[in-house]
């Protein structure tokens, strides 16, 4: 740790981090565009300049250097003294803002970035409202630079973050600069568009409305969005994300800073992978069957019916005829509640890990990097919580079998009652499974999308998408990461946690954190939670 | 004043001066032989003692620059800056087309002093004839065993490659040159790290100007003391001066740094006075980037110190362009603003936007739609750029600041008069359109 | 608001087109590798060679150069577009580069440029219909002692007066230099049939900067 003095105040920071980072961490609002902690230093926007005390070249006496220094490029060293709250620094910020706006179109009313735009914010805070330019602005074209991304060239502030991203993080190099001077533009080689599994990040790091996401384009003004902290369910990496939503609709996902796991990034698969939330095949209300008679009772009545039927079944058939298939899409809390209920009802029941979807190979970035050089990995394990469910199963002990064994045994009639949890965003029920469950009298299917098991199930429970749930996922690295709910379940639905909570015998409102504590009290492995640090307000 | 015996230009006018044979017959490749018998540190010391200041524009002592190289380095690269693009400078061109072997000899000496394994001569692409001349000289030197492995029978080996630029002023800036050599856009790098520590291909690198290097054979041959005996203490050695514009004898001349701008224009052995009875109005004496002098300031000495006294950035390339009274200063302003506007590499905000804005303003003024307040706007914009106040990465915008600022300051009455002379109605009409 | 005006998803190259860089040219490019630490450093020389050989640097050539140097094609266009010397669309057999810097301008360069435009019937950054000449302006050519200057391909014409323009243009050898050529770079070739296809605009195109004002 180094102690440095910013504007007369002592600030402690990690050694050698840029002064800009130290200042922003400590709450200073230092305007910056080109600096991004996940990219190399360009020091080209010249917005973050500061004054610094230096030894005089001749007398060696410490004094304020007449020259301004880029704070993003200057490492913080013990004892150094810098200042931002000076006229010179502020004048430069003002000049820069005037320069940025010279050729900037008056697009804010139609610009997606408006409301979260650092050109707007900085102009307001650091700039001058009057433009002194009477000459015509340069006009640059809008470009369709890839399947997911648009580039509004004339809104660009030339911070080169996006270019450095494709060079240094994705390693795909699609973006480049063309021309020079005031006619600089960001561009791609025609026919080699920006199209890589991580490209969406360039939209996030673009400080202005130049790079925009087609998926979100003109969907919603950003100030109407609410946000929830979440974890991406797309793969076992477990990227920390933000779910931006309004009126119970998810509009977009954005990465949250999560050092060591996803840092500042997320992949496109995760980013755009939330569309199944609005799938027309979603199950929305519970169904209870007795013979040919199907009803959709009140949620409040369900726990009792479930408990009664299961207890009756165990009495009649014995506990070893019971099985529960847990899904790697469940949160730890939900898994734990289900196990609680099953083992309570029948300690001999068999617990099963549901199918773990695997697709292709892991993808590491920058492309071609290995070992230390890897900055991001998309795992081929396409579910968020295999580790968490495995931890639960390990703690639960007792009778367990693999999913394949379960299918085989069920087909052979070993189980007469089973609780099968799905939650997969895609069709997942195999013919074998479908056939095997024919032998099960008391079948509970808890799933997101309608599937063939449901026609014969005694109970069908709608599962919620992760955006509607709360709990925690354990990623491939073993970190237990809590996530919040963003939207409400579809009309008629209910959070899985809530009904499992009640079925497991608890009363009141389900709350992820409370259940986590209960769970951790019994399973110490769940004590240590990983929560990403809160990013400093002025960082972007 | 005793007639100056040319040093760098001593072979000018000599038949076939570009050939190895003629160069050697006139005493060439002696300095390097002497150098190779010493240790590299001794050569560095000699050059330090000669106080050879860089001729590329910044005037940094070459020997001192070399001593910034890390002691424990295993590789060093040398770049010869032959990108000469500063209007109106052409002394490197003259040096290369008359005496390429002098440059090669200087390069070997600098290479030996810095223990470089490879030297790249970065030549601007518009130097077509000069490219063939230099390339041929390099080939001749290789054939003679003066380049390549164990040159002149010493243990020292050096390869020289001529590398052609492609049309960008900013590639004359040393780190822009390095980036360009690496096959990238010529965006100057942020410093630190300085090239001496981490330059071309990440290796310790020295960049020197053609004229700087061309001085080396003579320093080694005749000694530092001889070199410092020429000119004032702070500005030792012979220097090339260029003069262009409506003088009788535009061209490149060599002399000690004791001559004044007036000498350069008027002396018979130099510019020879103005042509066709024209009168001097303004001189940009150090390349355009250093700033402008009014006719009352022609006594400025062309050395490394005096220009500061006249509000100029420095000696620059010591290439003067004379502007006569018939020229409208609005046009000069526009021409200069355009130069920086089109040559800014564009990475720094202030320079990218500022230079092109200045060009727009200057164009408007030149087209007769200027306002008096535009002059202040230009002044202010000019002051909001530059490396010296820390606003930008390289010195290009400083070079834009000085001429704009000095012209507006020194020629304000004329500029205001021409702005006022335009019919006010016309100016107003234009603004409504442009707004 | 006008909608998307440029679609970059469209390939500029026919994937089935045969290579346009000859094996010999590729070999010549590769032969420079030992001179530099990185292959990318050969980019500028390679671009010179290709432009000298083909007249300009088409998209297809950029791609092939990128393959030889093991870089992404976007890096090639990035570099090309920074420099004023390279053409991404066909140019005339001879490129006339008129100096527009201060010495030449004050010494009569403007009149020479106007005369050139008049006689050629084209503007800056345009090519005559017969494909013989392209006209550009450039900053100081370092020939200010002979202002105003013109470069025709490699040949510098000095102290050009308005009345010289016709004679210079008529001279078949107006682009010949007296030096013995180094075989490192060939004499620049033009595109015999110069038709302006959509390429990138050249960088320091002042005409365009002016047009946008
Ligand atoms: C915008 C800009 C352009 C420059 N152009 C040239 C140039 O064309 N030739 C040159 O020798 N130095 C040029 N320089 C100076 C170089 O950066 C560098 O100082 C010089 O090559 C060092 O050589 P020297 O120490 O031998 O003078 C330029 C500097 C700047 C800021
Ligand atoms: S980028 Fe920002 S300032 Fe520009 S139009 Fe969009 S919201 Fe407005
Ligand atoms: S597109 Fe955005 S991220 Fe890229 S350089 Fe422009 S402003 Fe920066
Ligand atoms: S000061 Fe201008 S020319 Fe120099 S690096 Fe910055 S933008 Fe480029
Ligand atoms: S220069 Fe420091 S953030 Fe851009
Ligand atoms: S100004 Fe035209 S050649 Fe220098």
Instruction: Please give the Cα distance from B394 to B404 (Å, whole number).
Output: 18
Instruction: Average the pLDDT over B253-277 and give the result.
Output: 96
For ligand 3, the distance from its centroid to the CA atom of residue A33, given in whole angstroms, is: 9
Asked if C102's CB is within 8 angstroms of B336's CB, the reply is yes
Closest atom of ligand 4 to A44 CA is 6
Enumerate residues 55 to 74 of chain B having a beta carbon within 8 A of any beta carbon in chain A. Answer: none
Instruction: Average the pLDDT over B314-328 and give the result.
Output: 95
Asked if C59's CB is within 8 angstroms of A178's CB, the reply is no
* Å between C109 CA and nearest CA of chain B: 12
One domain for residues A269 and A334? no
Of the ligands numbered here, which is closest to the C-alpha atom of A44? 5
Let me know if domain C94-170 sits in CATH 1.10.3080.10. Answer: no
- Report yes or no on A462 lying in a domain: yes
Residues of C in contact with B124 (CB under 8 A): 142
* A35 within 8 A of A47, measured Cβ to Cβ: no
* A425 within 8 A of A249, measured Cβ to Cβ: no
pLDDT classification of C3: cutoffs 50, 70, 90: low
Q: What is the DSSP letter of C113?
A: H
Burial bucket for residue B37 (CB in 10 Å: 0-12, 13-18, 19+): exposed
Residues of C in contact with A168 (CB under 8 A): none
3-class SS at A456? helix
Instruction: Average the pLDDT over B207-232 and give the result.
Output: 97
- Who contacts A110 (Cβ-Cβ below 8 Å, separation ≥6)? C1
Q: For ligand 4, which residues put their CB under 6 angstroms from it? A: B 170, 188, 344-348, 351-352, 392-394, 396-397
pLDDT tens-digit map of C179-206: 888 888 888 887 755 554 444 454 444 5
Of the ligands numbered here, which is closest to the C-alpha atom of A127? 2
Asked if C212's CB is within 8 angstroms of A139's CB, the reply is yes
pLDDT tens-digit map of A134-150: 888 888 889 999 999 99
Q: Report the first-to-last Cα separation within chain B, whole angstroms.
A: 60
Q: Which of C18, C212, C210, C174 is nearest to C92 (CA)?
A: C174
Strand partners, A226: A245
Question: Is the distance from the beta carbon of residue A24 to the nearest atom of ligand 5 less than 6 Å?
Answer: no
3-class SS at A324? strand
Instruction: Please give the Cα distance from B301 to B311 (Å, whole number).
Output: 13
3-class SS at C96? strand
Question: Is the distance from the beta carbon of residue A162 to the nearest atom of ligand 3 less than 6 Å?
Answer: yes
Range with lowest mean pLDDT among A258-262, C105-109, C197-201: C197-201
- Chains with ≥3 Cβ pairs under 8 A against C? A, B
B93, B135, B364 ranked by CB distance to C142: nearest: B93
One domain for residues A351 and A446? yes
One domain for residues A474 and A343? yes
What confidence score (pLDDT) does residue C184 get? 82
Question: Is the distance from the beta carbon of residue B173 to the nearest atom of ligand 1 less than 6 Å?
Answer: yes
Q: Which of C8, C169, C177 is nearest to C98 (CA)?
A: C169
For ligand 6, the distance from its centroid to the CA atom of residue B169, given in whole angstroms, is: 13
Q: Which of A253, A159, A263 is nearest to A213 (CA)?
A: A253
pLDDT tens-digit map of C27-58: 999 999 999 999 999 999 999 999 999 999 99
CA-nearest residue to B360 within chain A is A135
Output the residue whose Cα is nearest ligand 4's atom 6: B348
What confidence score (pLDDT) does residue B98 get? 96
The residue length of chain A stands at: 540
One domain for residues A16 and A143? no
What confidence score (pLDDT) does residue B218 get? 97
3-class SS at C100? coil
Question: Is the distance from the beta carbon of residue C104 to the nearest atom of ligand 6 less than 6 Å?
Answer: yes
Let me know if domain C23-82 sits in CATH 1.10.150. Answer: no
Indicate the residue among A278, A308, A340 that finishes a domain: A278
ipTM of this predicted structure: 0.93
Indicate the residue among A278, A297, A316 that finishes a domain: A278
What confidence score (pLDDT) does residue C197 get? 47
Domain boundaries, chain C: 23-82, 94-170
Question: Is the distance from the beta carbon of residue C99 to the nearest atom of ligand 6 less than 6 Å?
Answer: yes
Instruction: Please give the Cα distance from A521 to A539 (Å, whole number).
Output: 37
Query: Residue A32 belongs to a domain with what CATH number?
Result: 3.10.20.740
Instruction: Please give the Cα distance from B78 to A274 (Å, whole number).
Output: 56
- Side-chain-side CA neighbours of residue B165 (13 Å): 32
One domain for residues A199 and A271? yes
One domain for residues A307 and A455? yes
Instruction: Please give the Cα distance from C92 to C192 (Å, whole number).
Output: 7
Residue with tokens 């640090």: A533
- Report yes or no on A32 lying in a domain: yes
- Domain, as residue range, for A73: 2-85
State phi, psi for A365 to the nearest 5 degrees.
-130, 150
Instruction: Average the pLDDT over B194-219 and give the result.
Output: 97
Q: Which of A387, A392, A383 is nearest to A342 (CA)?
A: A392
pLDDT classification of B367: cutoffs 50, 70, 90: confident
- Report yes or no on A241 lying in a domain: yes
Q: How many CB atoms lie within 10 A of CB B310?
A: 20
Residues of B in contact with C213 (CB under 8 A): 360, 363-364
How many residue pairs bridge chain A and chain C with CB atoms within 8 Å of each other?
A: 96
- Report yes or no on A212 lying in a domain: yes
Cis peptide bond upstream of B162, omega within 30: no
Closest atom of ligand 6 to C143 CA is 3
pLDDT tens-digit map of C117-169: 999 999 998 999 999 999 999 999 999 999 999 999 999 999 999 999 999 99
* C47 within 8 A of C73, measured Cβ to Cβ: no
Asked if C139's CB is within 8 angstroms of B343's CB, the reply is yes
Bridge pairing between strands A400-401 and A350-353: parallel
One domain for residues A66 and A167? no
CA-nearest residue to A150 within chain C is C4
Closest atom of ligand 2 to A120 CA is 3
CA-nearest residue to B340 within chain C is C139
- Report yes or no on A376 lying in a domain: no
Asked if C75's CB is within 8 angstroms of A144's CB, the reply is no
The answer on pLDDT for B407 being more than 80 is yes
Instruction: Average the pLDDT over A327-334 and give the result.
Output: 98
Domains recognised in chain B with CATH numbers:
20-228 (3.40.50.11540), 233-324 (3.10.20.600), 329-434 (1.20.1440.230)
Enumerate residues 124 to 153 of chain C having a beta carbon within 8 A of any beta carbon in chain B. Answer: 138-147, 151, 153
Question: Is the distance from the beta carbon of residue A70 to the nearest atom of ligand 5 less than 6 Å?
Answer: yes
pLDDT classification of B430: cutoffs 50, 70, 90: very low
Interface mutation vs chain B, best among C106, C110, C141, C155, most B CBs within 10 Å:
C106
Instruction: Average the pLDDT over A310-330 and give the result.
Output: 96
Instruction: Average the pLDDT over B230-254 and give the result.
Output: 96
Range with lowest mean pLDDT among A489-493, B56-60, C183-187: C183-187
For Cα atoms A294, A299, A303, give the angle at the middle one, nearest 5 degrees. 90
- Report yes or no on A504 lying in a domain: yes
**What is the number of domains present in chain A?**
3
The answer to whether A103 faces chain B, any CB pair under 8 Å, is yes
B354, B388, B393 ranked by CB distance to A99: nearest: B354
- Chains with ≥3 Cβ pairs under 8 A against A? B, C
Instruction: Please give the Cα distance from C123 to C114 (Å, whole number).
Output: 9
* B131 within 8 A of B166, measured Cβ to Cβ: no
What confidence score (pLDDT) does residue A195 get? 96
Interface mutation vs chain B, best among A75, A95, A128, A185, most B CBs within 10 Å:
A95
Enumerate residues 36 to 55 of chain B having a beta carbon within 8 A of any beta carbon in chain C. Answer: none
What confidence score (pLDDT) does residue B7 get? 96
* A42 within 8 A of A160, measured Cβ to Cβ: yes
Strand partners, B163: B122
For ligand 2, the distance from its centroid to the CA atom of residue A168, given in whole angstroms, is: 26
Instruction: Please give the Cα distance from C168 to A238 (Å, whole number).
Output: 71
Shared fold status for C23-82 and C94-170: no
Query: Residue A495 belongs to a domain with what CATH number?
Result: 3.40.50.740
Asked if C177's CB is within 8 angstroms of B201's CB, the reply is no
Residues of A in contact with C76 (CB under 8 A): 189
- Cα-only R_g, chain A: 28
CA-nearest residue to C103 within chain B is B245
Instruction: Please give the Cα distance from B304 to B51 (Å, whole number).
Output: 12
- Report yes or no on A100 lying in a domain: no
Query: Residue A178 belongs to a domain with what CATH number?
Result: 3.30.70.20
* B363 within 8 A of B334, measured Cβ to Cβ: yes
Closest atom of ligand 6 to C109 CA is 2
How far CA A259 is from CA of A131, A263, A423, B98, in Å, comes to 41, 4, 28, 61
* Å between B276 CA and nearest CA of chain A: 39
- Report yes or no on A540 lying in a domain: no
One domain for residues A344 and A241? no
Instruction: Please give the Cα distance from A374 to A365 (Å, whole number).
Output: 6
Question: Is the distance from the beta carbon of residue A116 to the nearest atom of ligand 2 less than 6 Å?
Answer: no
The residue length of chain C stands at: 213
Asked if C36's CB is within 8 angstroms of B167's CB, the reply is no
pLDDT tens-digit map of A26-56: 999 999 999 999 999 999 999 999 999 999 8
Instruction: Please give the Cα distance from A495 to A461 (Å, whole number).
Output: 10
Strands of the sheet with B159-164, listed across from one edge? B159-164, B118-123, B77-82, B205-209
Q: Ligand 1 test: best mutation among B48, B58, B84, B103, most atoms within 8 Å of CB?
A: B58
The answer to whether B435 faces chain A, any CB pair under 8 Å, is yes
The answer to whether C45 faces chain B, any CB pair under 8 Å, is yes
**DSSP letters along A342-398, please?**
HHHH-TT-EEEEPP--B-S--EEESTT--GGG--EEE-SB--S-HHHHHHHHHHH-S
pLDDT tens-digit map of B326-361: 999 999 999 999 999 999 999 999 999 999 999 999
Residue with tokens 């979260």: A116
One domain for residues A414 and A453? yes
pLDDT tens-digit map of B132-159: 999 999 999 999 999 999 999 999 999 9
Instruction: Average the pLDDT over A411-422 and give the result.
Output: 96
């Amino acid at each position: 740790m180094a102690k440095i003095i910013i504007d007369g105040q002592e600030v402690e920071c990690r050694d050698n981090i840029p002064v800009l980072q130290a200042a922003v961490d400590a709450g200073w609002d230092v305007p910056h565009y080109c600096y991004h902690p996940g990219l190399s230093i360009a020091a080209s926007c010249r917005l973050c300049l500061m004054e610094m005390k230096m030894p005089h070249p001749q007398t060696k006496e410490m004094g304020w250097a007449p020259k301004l220094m880029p704070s993003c490029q200057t490492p913080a060293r013990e004892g150094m003294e810098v200042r931002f709250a000076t006229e010179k620094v502020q004048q430069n910020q003002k000049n820069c803002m005037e320069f940025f706006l010279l050729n900037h179109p008056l697009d804010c009313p139609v610009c997606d970035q408006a409301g979260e735009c650092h050109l707007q914010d900085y102009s307001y805070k650091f700039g001058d409202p009057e433009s002194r330019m009477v000459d015509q602005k340069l006009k640059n074209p809008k470009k369709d630079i890839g399947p997911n991304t648009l580039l509004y060239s004339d809104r660009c502030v030339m911070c080169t973050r996006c270019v450095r991203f494709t060079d240094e993080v994705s390693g795909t190099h699609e973006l480049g600069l063309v021309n020079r001077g005031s006619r600089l533009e960001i561009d791609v080689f025609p026919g080699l568009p920006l199209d890589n599994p991580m490209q969406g990040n360039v939209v996030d790091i673009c400080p202005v409305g130049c790079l925009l996401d087609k998926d979100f384009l003109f969907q919603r003004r950003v100030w109407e969005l609410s946000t929830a902290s979440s974890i991406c369910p797309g793969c076992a990496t477990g990227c920390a994300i933000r779910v931006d939503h309004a009126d119970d609709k998810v509009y977009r996902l954005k990465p949250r800073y999560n050092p060591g796991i996803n840092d500042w990034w997320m992949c496109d698969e995760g980013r755009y992978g939330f569309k199944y939330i609005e799938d027309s095949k979603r199950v929305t209300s519970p169904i209870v069957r007795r013979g040919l008679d199907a009803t959709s009772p009140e949620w409040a009545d369900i726990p009792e019916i479930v408990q009664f039927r299961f207890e009756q079944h165990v009495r009649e058939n014995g506990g070893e005829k019971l099985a529960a298939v847990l899904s790697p899409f469940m949160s730890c809390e939900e898994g734990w509640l289900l196990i609680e209920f099953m083992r309570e009802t029948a300690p001999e029941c068999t617990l099963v890990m549901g199918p773990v979807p695997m697709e292709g190979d892991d993808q590491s970035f920058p492309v071609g990097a290995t070992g230390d050089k890897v900055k991001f990995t998309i795992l081929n394990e396409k579910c968020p919580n295999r580790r968490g469910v495995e931890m639960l199963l390990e703690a639960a002990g007792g009778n367990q079998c693999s999913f394949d064994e379960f299918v085989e045994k069920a087909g052979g009639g070993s189980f007469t009652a089973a609780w099968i949890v799905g939650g997969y965003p895609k069709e997942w029920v195999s013919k074998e499974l479908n056939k095997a469950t024919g032998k099960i009298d008391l079948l509970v299917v808890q799933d997101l999308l309608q599937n063939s098991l449901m026609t014969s199930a005694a109970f069908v429970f709608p599962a919620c998408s992760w955006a509607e749930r709360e709990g925690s996922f354990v990623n491939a690295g073993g970190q237990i990461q809590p996530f919040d709910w963003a939207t409400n379940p579809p009309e008629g639905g209910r959070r899985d946690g809530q009904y499992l909570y009640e079925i497991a015998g608890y009363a009141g409102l389900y709350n992820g954190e409370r259940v986590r504590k209960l769970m951790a009290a019994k399973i110490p492995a769940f004590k240590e939670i990983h929560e990403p640090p809160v990013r400093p307000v002025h960082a972007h | 004043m005793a007639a100056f015996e040319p040093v760098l230009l001593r072979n000018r006018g000599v038949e076939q001066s570009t050939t190895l044979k003629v160069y050697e017959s006139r005493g060439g490749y002696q300095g390097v032989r002497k150098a190779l018998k010493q240790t590299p540190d001794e050569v560095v010391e000699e050059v330090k003692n000669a106080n050879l200041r860089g001729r590329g524009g910044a005037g940094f002592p070459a020997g001192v620059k070399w001593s910034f190289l890390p002691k424990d380095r295993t590789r060093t690269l040398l770049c010869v800056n032959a990108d000469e693009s500063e209007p109106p400078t052409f002394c490197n061109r003259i040096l290369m087309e008359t005496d390429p072997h002098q440059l090669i000899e200087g390069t070997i000496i600098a290479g030996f002093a810095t223990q470089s394994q490879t030297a790249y001569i970065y030549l601007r692409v518009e130097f077509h004839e000069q490219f063939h001349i230099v390339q041929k000289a390099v080939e001749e030197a290789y054939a003679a065993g003066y380049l390549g492995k164990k040159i002149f029978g010493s243990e020292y080996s050096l390869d020289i490659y001529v590398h052609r630029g492609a049309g960008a002023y900013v590639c004359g800036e040393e780190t822009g040159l390095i980036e360009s050599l690496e096959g990238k856009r010529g965006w100057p790098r942020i410093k630190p790290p300085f090239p001496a520590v981490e330059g071309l291909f990440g290796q310790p690198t020295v960049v020197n100007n053609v004229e700087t290097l061309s001085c080396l054979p003579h320093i080694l041959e005749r000694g530092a003391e001889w070199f410092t005996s020429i000119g004032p203490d702070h500005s030792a050695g012979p220097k090339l001066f260029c003069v262009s514009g409506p003088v009788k004898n535009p061209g490149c001349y060599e002399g000690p740094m004791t001559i004044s701008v007036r000498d350069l224009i008027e002396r018979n052995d130099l510019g020879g006075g103005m042509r066709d009875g024209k009168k001097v109005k303004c001189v940009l004496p150090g390349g355009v980037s250093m700033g402008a002098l009014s006719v009352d300031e022609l006594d400025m000495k062309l050395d490394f110190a005096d220009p500061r006294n006249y509000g100029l950035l420095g000696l620059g390339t010591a290439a003067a362009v004379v502007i006569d009274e018939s020229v409208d200063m609005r046009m000069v302003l526009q021409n200069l603003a355009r130069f920086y506007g089109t040559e800014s590499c564009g990475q720094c905000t202030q320079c990218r936007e500022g230079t092109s804005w200045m060009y727009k303003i200057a164009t408007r003024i030149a087209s007769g739609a200027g306002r008096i307040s535009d002059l202040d706007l230009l002044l202010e914009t000019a002051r909001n750029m530059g490396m010296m106040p820390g606003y930008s990465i390289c010195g290009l915008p400083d070079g834009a600041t000085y001429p704009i600022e000095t012209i507006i300051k020194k020629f304000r009455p004329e500029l205001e008069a021409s702005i006022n002379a335009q019919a006010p109605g016309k100016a107003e009409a234009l603004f409504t359109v442009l707004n | 608001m006008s909608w998307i005006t440029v679609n970059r998803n469209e390939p500029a190259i026919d994937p089935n087109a045969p290579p346009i860089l000859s094996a010999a040219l590729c070999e010549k490019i590769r032969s420079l590798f030992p001179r530099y630490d990185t292959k990318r450093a050969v980019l500028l020389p390679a671009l010179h060679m290709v432009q000298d050989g083909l007249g300009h640097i088409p998209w297809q050539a950029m791609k092939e150069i990128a393959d030889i140097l093991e870089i992404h094609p976007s890096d090639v266009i990035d570099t090309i577009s920074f420099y004023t010397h390279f053409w991404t669309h066909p140019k005339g057999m001879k490129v006339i580069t008129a100096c527009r810097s201060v010495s030449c301008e004050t010494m009569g360069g403007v009149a020479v440029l106007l005369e050139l435009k008049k006689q050629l019937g084209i503007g800056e950054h345009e090519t005559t219909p017969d494909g013989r000449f392209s006209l550009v302006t450039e900053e100081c050519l370092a020939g200010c002692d002979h202002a105003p200057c013109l470069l025709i391909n490699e040949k510098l014409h000095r102290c050009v007066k308005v009345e010289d323009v016709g004679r210079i243009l008529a001279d078949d050898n107006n682009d010949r230099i007296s030096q013995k050529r180094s075989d490192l770079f060939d004499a620049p070739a033009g595109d015999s049939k110069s038709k302006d296809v959509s390429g990138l605009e050249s960088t320091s195109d002042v005409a365009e900067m002016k047009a946008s004002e």
